[in-house]
Structure 1
């Protein structure tokens, strides 16, 4: 059985739901801004070129509204067109850079994951939880090991990724229960945990062990192990992981070879976070 496309690569339903959830009764809510952001999010690695009809379908916007958003983005230099389809221009990176450059967490974790990656000769990443997905804030890749390329800013479902499980396990009980009620636990492989009760038990195990190990649940042939990144007060603010091809390393070997490096890096991050304001 082949792995299915990660949820972060298909955001059609999610974006349409967000746009349809506009709040016309809130005088502080800017519908035009919400629509513009929805149009930006419609572009993905799999669909970098989209027509107006594509944008309207993905976002749920009327074609006229989608067209106005695209033309506005073009005038501002964030989008371009070949005459039929539209695409994002490099200037769009400035939006993500504004967050990364102002976030001490990313700057602290970046050299740590580089060091871990160099030590274990595997890809290492850091991510935070954003609603029901993990968002990569730092990454050191030795080679491409997934069918979908991952970079800073990439999003993946939380429930079937090692960093996602570490972050979900740290949620307060009420927030976790709300997540389990609303999350669509889709199978990416035959190994993916899709039952809420089974996922709850696995998250309890993650809390007890202090790390998460996911074996080919997101994509066949991919294993990953993750640990939480905590502040001095013990709050989990991020996760760090190492990913590797299943053919090269077993689950027990991951615990022996990779976990100590991740644990040391997370402890060092905790010390550094004490010295950083705003974290």
Structure 2
């Protein structure tokens, strides 16, 4: 039975999507011509007005298109399933690498993928309470203010980066880069040197170094980082951080790339 946290509108939206493949009642599969509004209301048991509102919303989001009075799912809907399975597979593959690197460095190590304008944590090996934020697998953080986000954004064309940014950029701390031109300068620097550093921008007293993880086909699929507190002996110059952490991070990223190559 649905509890107090049950979101009925979300459940109805899912029912509308499922109606294209037979719906929750197990109706016959959808023809290549899509579904009419009447067919969708029959399969979902929603009123015409309610079903239409959900379809308009899904169309605005790019998941549904209307042609000649009938509705069809777009290929974008595949992202909902693919992102889940791809992240789950990558998470299982990368978690041992993250744990090994954390044990080697004695520091907290994480991995995250880029999802729109956010990063989503897919693996993590925390060592001590360096980060006051509650972070676990599945946590989302704004990419622009994180080293793992910048390590991945730096590999994208500028127009794609702009599409992912929600302007104006929010200042999470007094040191957060919120000027878009300055952010792009940081991304160019990160792309040029192959790693990204964020200092006190996500959380005061936190420094984070990250490198991109590249698939065998050359596509950036994730990032690895080491999170360091400036009050626990981890403070140091940029050159010292590079010497201590970037090499091991890049070796770990290459290990992930090799593991991905074995699966492709």
TM-score (norm 1): 0.62
Residue 135 (structure 1) aligned with residue 117 (structure 2): no
Q: CA deviation at 1:177?
A: 2.6
Equivalent residue, structure 2, for 1:266: 253
Instruction: Mark the runs of 5 or more structure 2 residues left unpaired by the alignment.
Output: 1-8, 17-82
Q: Distance in 2 between matches of 1:99 and 1:131?
A: 14
Q: Distance in 2 between matches of 1:151 and 1:240?
A: 14
CA-to-partner distance for each residue in 1:101-136, whole Å, 9 max, x for gaps?
Answer: 973211121111101101111100000011111000
Q: Which one scores higher on RCO, CA 8 angstroms, separation ≥ 6?
A: 1
Q: Distance in 1 between matches of 2:213 and 2:86?
A: 19
Bigger Rg, structure 1 or 2: 2
Residue 179 (structure 1) aligned with residue 164 (structure 2): yes
CA-to-partner distance for each residue in 1:234-273, whole Å, 9 max, x for gaps?
Answer: 1100000000101222243321111111010001111111
Q: Do the aligned residues in 2 keep the contact of 1:213 with 1:251 (CA within 8 Å)?
A: no
- Closer, same or farther in 2 for the Cα pair 1:187/1:121, shift >3 Å? same
Instruction: Mark the runs of 5 or more structure 1 residues left unpaired by the alignment.
Output: 1-18, 23-28, 35-97
User: Aligned pairs, how many?
Assistant: 188
Equivalent residue, structure 1, for 2:173: 189
Equivalent residue, structure 2, for 1:202: 186
Q: Distance in 1 between matches of 2:237 and 2:15?
A: 46
Q: Do the aligned residues in 1 keep the contact of 2:87 with 2:122 (CA within 8 Å)?
A: no
- Closer, same or farther in 2 for the Cα pair 1:104/1:195, shift >3 Å? same
TM-score (norm 2): 0.66
Structure 1 runs (4+) deviating above 6 angstroms are: none
Residue 110 (structure 1) aligned with residue 132 (structure 2): no
Residue 257 (structure 1) aligned with residue 244 (structure 2): yes
Q: Do the aligned residues in 1 keep the contact of 2:111 with 2:225 (CA within 8 Å)?
A: yes
Q: CA deviation at 1:100?
A: 6.5
1:15-54 to structure 2, matched below 5 A, reads: 31=13
